[in-house]
Amino acid sequence: MAARAPTSPARGVGWLVDWRLTFGGEDLGWDGALATVVEEPGSQVFVMLYDVPEWDEKLLDEWEGTALGVFVKIRVRVQTLEGEVGAWLYVVDGYEGGLPSAHYLGIIADAAEEAGAPDDYVANLRTRPCRNVNP
């Protein structure tokens, strides 16, 4: 995030309640499927929140390929220790399915661990099925 939106400080962490982490867009040309979320009652996804000024939002939109239709930006509610907050989230504009690369999944798990996700959540990320491709 520091490279993609350099003037956007971390604001904290929370849970995206009734959503599930999944992967999709494997056909878009990367080494595997891309992280996204789908609604699923009873599930939750650990998230990091950032304060993103308008100029960084434009950089993120470009990075995530919103103009190309790779990701779309949606508005969600995140549960934090301070209460519920609104946030923007990028989701894959494609079908769910496919496996992420081992390298990509490792980056996601490392980021969750560094942000303070519970140990069992990180362990679940590290043991998800993935593709073994070179980064």
Q: What is the mean pLDDT of residues 53-81?
A: 84
Number of domains in the chain: 1
In a domain, 115, yes or no: yes
In this predicted model, which residue has the larger pLDDT, 29 or 14?
14
Residue 31 has what DSSP assignment? S
* CATH code at position 40: 3.10.490.10
CA distances from 40 to 53, 85, 93 (A): 30, 19, 17
Domain that holds residue 16: 10-126
| Contact (Cβ atoms closer than 8 angstroms) between residue 95 and residue 24 | yes
In a domain, 3, yes or no: no
User: Residue 82, CB half-sphere, CA atoms under 13 Å: how many?
Assistant: 6
**Sheet order of strands, 34-50 included:** 34-50, 10-24, 71-80, 83-92
pLDDT in tens, 43-57: 999 999 988 878 878
Give helix then strand counts, H and E, for the chain. Answer: 3, 4
In a domain, 56, yes or no: yes
| pTM attached to this predicted model | 0.86
